[in-house]
Amino acid sequence: MAVPPTVPTSFVPRSGSLSFKNSAFDFGGAFAFLGYGAFVLALLAAGGLFAYNWYLGTVEAAKQADLQKAETSIDTSTVESFIRLNTHLSEGKRLLSGHLIFSKAFDLIASLAPTTVRLTSISILTSDAHTAVLSSTGSAASFNALAVFSDALGRESQIKNAVFSGLGIGKNGEVSFSLTANLDQSLTTFSVSSAADASGSLPSAGATATTSASQTP
Amino acid sequence: MNRMLPAAGLVLAFVVFFIYISPTYSGPVTTIQATIAREQLALNAAASFGDKQKTLAEEKNRITPEDIARLETLLPSSVDNVSAILSLTALAARSGVQISSISVPQPTQGAGDVTTPPTEVGSIDMTFSATGSYQAFRTFITGIEHSTRLLDVTNLTVKGSDTGVYGYDMTVRLYWLR
């Protein structure tokens, strides 16, 4: 029996494009995934940041409290006493290292001057740079005596630039003179060794002075 | 409509990022982080200060009160030139030296050690005139040099005489801790 042409056929031929359609990328879904994903991520990040910010606030408050506690535990008077003591010690040490002593210079001059030379005045002036200048006037029994004194000063390393000037001969042949010299710093400043010497020198200071008194004023 | 929602999500994500996340992270969060870092440094310093304070206290306790007193005598906290003059007068009497005059200049602003940059030590120069034998003078000068209070004889002039009694002019410098 022939089928009338008006009756629709149930047969739908498969087209070749169907397989292509199934394997095609779903742009819509991907876009939706991207959009929703970004939104969710943004929300999570915002929430996390809010929580982190809150956490940092509490940490800061705790640290500030600790810091205030530490600050109040600092006793400023104790700190000042430490600073004062440190300054006291360091300045005392500094001043002691430059402490001026002239005894050694007097002892040395007395030991160098022959008995035929008499110093009538001695002046030692120091500058702020701790350089000491010796100025002296005196008289010698003869030029030879003065030469001996000059030679002794020249050989002494702690007395530098010894210059005799104002030489004059008196009625009885005595030679008057003026002397200027620079004293080495080691001769005029305190040292531990000189302190050790001095600890035992006080009783003998008189003896030294007696010996030197014949030459020095 | 289905296509609009993901687009709106994307837009909202951008809005959230640029309106809240980025400004908050680069603003308050960074500031608080820096503050916390500074406070942590300060706390570390406070901790090391505490340790140092403890160490210093132990070291200070090892110095005997007698040594502290000697240090205070060596370099007093005030000029106290009157007691220094009294001590020098007593020393002169013990040594056999007669002090004839003492001159203390008016202190000037900033008077003090000019050999070094400004320090916390003040100084004042006193000038003395005295007479006595050479032996007495040597005893006197040795006493000054070994005084428990730091005294520097900065200038000294000895004038001879035929009588055995000499004249002495000297400048003594006193120090104190300001």
A176 touches A119 (CB < 8 A): no
Say which residue the tokens 């008016």 belong to.
Answer: B106
Q: How far is A161 from chain B (nearest CA, A)?
A: 19
Instruction: Give the residues across from A97 on adjacent strands.
Output: none
Looking at beta carbons, which residues of chain B come within 8 Å of A123?
A: 155-158
CB contact under 8 A, A213 and B134: yes
Q: How far is A32 from chain B (nearest CA, A)?
A: 5
Alpha-carbon distance A64 to A61, whole Å?
Answer: 5
Among the partner residues A98, A129, A202, nearest to B142 by beta-carbon distance: A202
CA dihedral A97, A100, A106, A109 (to 10 degrees): 60
Q: Is the ipTM of this complex over 0.85?
A: no
Averaged pLDDT, A184-193:
80
Among the partner residues B56, B141, B155, nearest to A82 by beta-carbon distance: B56
Averaged pLDDT, B115-122:
68
CB pairs A-B closer than 8 Å: 202
Q: How many CB atoms lie within 10 A of CB A33?
A: 12
CB contact under 8 A, B121 and A208: no
Among the partner residues A42, A67, A123, nearest to B39 by beta-carbon distance: A67
CB contact under 8 A, B155 and A126: yes
Compute CA distances A162 → A119, A122, A155, A159, A181, whole Å.
Answer: 14, 14, 10, 7, 4
DSSP 3-state of B171:
strand
CB contact under 8 A, B157 and A122: yes
Mutate: best of B38, B55, B145, partner A, most A CBs <10 A:
B145
Residue of A nearest to B142 (CA): A103
Compute CA distances B172 → A17, A127, B117, B143, whole Å.
Answer: 119, 13, 21, 12
pLDDT for A101-159, tens place per residue?
A: 888 888 999 899 899 998 889 999 988 777 899 999 998 998 899 999 999 999 988 99
Q: How far is B85 from chain A (nearest CA, A)?
A: 19
Mutate: best of A31, A41, A54, A56, partner B, most B CBs <10 A:
A56
Average pLDDT across chain A, whole number: 80
Phi-psi region of B80 (alpha: psi -120 to 50; beta: other; left: phi over 0): left
Say what the pLDDT of residue A137 is.
92
Confidence of residue A212 (pLDDT cuts 50, 70, 90): very low
Residue of B nearest to A210 (CA): B135
Q: What is the pTM of this model?
A: 0.68
DSSP 3-state of B152:
strand
pLDDT for B47-91, tens place per residue?
A: 999 899 899 999 989 999 999 999 998 999 888 889 889 999 999
Residue positions counted in chain A: 217
